[in-house]
Amino acid sequence: MKVNKHINLLWLLGSTILCLTFLLLIPITADCSAEAVQGETILEFHDHCADSGYFIMKDVDDGSVIMMTARLIHVDDEYITGNNTHYIVERVEGNTAWARSLGDIDLSQPPDILGGIFKSGMLSQLTQAENRDFTIAVYHSHGAESYVPSDGTESIPEGGGILDVGEAFVEALEENGLEVKHSPETHVPHDAGAYNRSRRTVEELMQDNANVFFDVHRDAVPAEEYKAVVDDDQIVQIQFVVGRQNQNVEVNRQFAESLKNATDKLYPDLIKGIFMARGSYNQDITPLALLLEVGTHENTREGAEESVALFADAVNYYFAGPEAQRAQEAVGGTALRTILWVILIALLATGLYLIISTGGIEEARAKISHFFQKEFAEFKGRRRGDSGNDE
């Protein structure tokens, strides 16, 4: 028995080392194929790529810069520019992502996904589009983020300038007559657990009847990247981020595209683009959720506040404007398709689990058959007396 104890101890030690190795030393192969970063560990890579700079997306055909972001870009990430040109990333070399244009897309024509089959009460229920029963939630997963020119630093753990930008957004939304909830939680410490903590804020806001969520951030690239001129005034732009690793991604994307379309009508160039990036950003919790990057740490906080006030007009236009019903129906159609996919995947996962746990397809089939026979019999009231003996 002592041998067993030693084996278990070694097993435990080995597993721990394995997991730590996995986290610390696994080489970054995540699409960073350039010599400069090949073979780096997470720590080295993070130092190299994130702390010392940012990432640039370039057109693979002409080499022109499409956008810059502090978020790591991966192959298959997508980007829709302010002019609605759709790009997909083909390869990443160091800090440069090479993307191919898939052409321009017309955001004013949301796809009629289910051919009108479900365009009835069900869709309205999904999006609550008919009665304008929307409550907007504004929160900040990284509440320490700040704007250097105004706040003096890029991060304030007690509460960064981003909270003020959120407050300006909330005030403007309320002036438009929308119902809004704002969480001033900072979700510090500023680490990889921040989105786990902000998940709780989202749930609290949902209990408060919020059904549209904006996670307000700022980017960390040069200020010029987020500057544009609207009506002769220089403004700070806003970028939407949609998490690709969540089951609501199609709905989130549809929401982002239709909201951009609405904003473009009021304030062209206010929206910098839509970045479909790796991650979930808690957008798996609810379909009508977006992450906003309001300028960068090098823009002024006041500029960011002015931009979110303009964006608030667009949000109101989207949820209460003349085309609100149509845009939201498209979102609802996508939501329904997502639910069907999720049910299918859940059924497949259950089947797989059953095969593993019973030891084979035949055994799994027998178990399912037994279940349905039992349930059917009980439904018809034939085997009431037997129900206690089934197992």
Partner 1 sequence: MNTGIIILLAVAVIVYAGFAERALDRLRLSDKAALLFLVAMLLGGFLPDVPLGANFGINIGGGLIPLILVGYLFSKAESWEIGRTVLAIFIATAVAYGAMKILPLEPTYNLFIDPLYLIAIVAGLIAYLAGRSRRGAFIAGVMAIILSDLLAFVENSLMGVTASTVIGGAGFFDAVVISGFIALGLAEIFGETAERLAPFFGAKTRSEEGMDEDDKGKGREEEGNEGE
Residues 320-339 that bind partner 1 (CB under 8 A): 338-339
Site string for partner 1, 97-136 (x = CB under 8 A): ----------------------------------------
Identify which of 345, 346, 340, 328 has the alpha carbon closest to the alpha carbon of residue 126.
Answer: 328
Q: Which 248-277 positions form the footprint of partner 1 (CB under 8 A)?
A: 248, 277
Which of residues 168 and 202 has its CB atom nearest to partner 1 in the complex?
202
Minimal distance in Å, beta carbon 193 to partner 1?
Answer: 4
Which of residues 188 and 312 has its CB atom nearest to partner 1 in the complex?
188
Q: Which 361-380 positions form the footprint of partner 1 (CB under 8 A)?
A: 367-368, 371
- Choose which of 102, 320, 344, 349 interacts with partner 1 (CB under 8 A): 349
- Choose which of 354, 377, 378, 383 interacts with partner 1 (CB under 8 A): 354
Residue 357 binds partner 1, judged by CB under 8 A: yes
Say how many residues touch partner 1, by CB under 8 A.
79
Q: Which 135-154 positions form the footprint of partner 1 (CB under 8 A)?
A: 142
Residue 239 binds partner 1, judged by CB under 8 A: no
Give the span between the Cα atoms of 250 and 242, in whole angstroms.
9
Minimal distance in Å, beta carbon 91 to partner 1?
Answer: 17
Residue 65 binds partner 1, judged by CB under 8 A: no
Which of residues 227 and 367 has its CB atom nearest to partner 1 in the complex?
367
SS3 of the chain: CHHHHHHHHHHHHHHHHHHHHHHHCCCCCCCCCCCCCCCCCHHHHHHHHHHCCCEEEEECCCCCEEEEECCCCCCCCEEEECCCEEEEEEEEECCEEEEEEEEECCCCCCCCCCCCCCCCHHHHHHHCCCCCCCEEEEECCCCCECCHHHHCCCECCCCCHHHHHHHHHHHHHHHCCCEEEECCCCCCCCCCCHHHHHHHHHHHHHHCCCCEEEEEEEECCCHHHHEEEECCEEEECEEEEEECCCCCHHHHHHHHHHHHHHHHHHCCCCEEEEEEECCCCCCCCCCCEEEEEEEECCCCHHHHHHHHHHHHHHHHHHHHCCCHHHHHHHHHHHHHHHHHHHHHHHHHHHHHHHHHHHCCHHHHHHHHHHHHHHHHHHHCCCCHHHHHHCC
Residue 12 binds partner 1, judged by CB under 8 A: yes
Minimal distance in Å, beta carbon 285 to partner 1?
Answer: 4
- Choose which of 39, 116, 152, 157 interacts with partner 1 (CB under 8 A): 157
Site string for partner 1, 13-32 (x = CB under 8 A): -xxx-xxx-xxx-x-xxx--
Q: Which 39-58 positions form the footprint of partner 1 (CB under 8 A)?
A: 42-43, 46, 50
Q: Which 274-313 positions form the footprint of partner 1 (CB under 8 A)?
A: 277-281, 284-286
Minimal distance in Å, beta carbon 87 to partner 1?
Answer: 16
Give the span between the Cα atoms of 18 and 295, in whole angstroms.
40
Residue 342 binds partner 1, judged by CB under 8 A: yes
Residues 6+ apart with CB under 8 A from 162: 140, 142, 143, 144, 145, 146, 147, 216, 217, 218, 294
Which of residues 50 and 60 has its CB atom nearest to partner 1 in the complex?
50
Minimal distance in Å, beta carbon 329 to partner 1?
Answer: 19
Minimal distance in Å, beta carbon 74 to partner 1?
Answer: 7
Could you tell me which stretch among 66-74, 84-92, 103-111, 171-179 binds partner 1 (CB under 8 A)?
66-74
Which of residues 246 and 263 has its CB atom nearest to partner 1 in the complex?
246
- Choose which of 58, 187, 218, 253 interacts with partner 1 (CB under 8 A): 187
What is the torsion angle, in degrees rounded to the nearest 10, for the CA atoms of residue 196, residue 202, residue 206 and residue 210?
-160
- Choose which of 84, 95, 127, 246 interacts with partner 1 (CB under 8 A): 246
Could you tell me which stretch among 38-46, 108-116, 295-303, 306-314 binds partner 1 (CB under 8 A)?
38-46
Neighbours of 2 (CB within 10 A): 6
Give the span between the Cα atoms of 335 and 355, in whole angstroms.
30
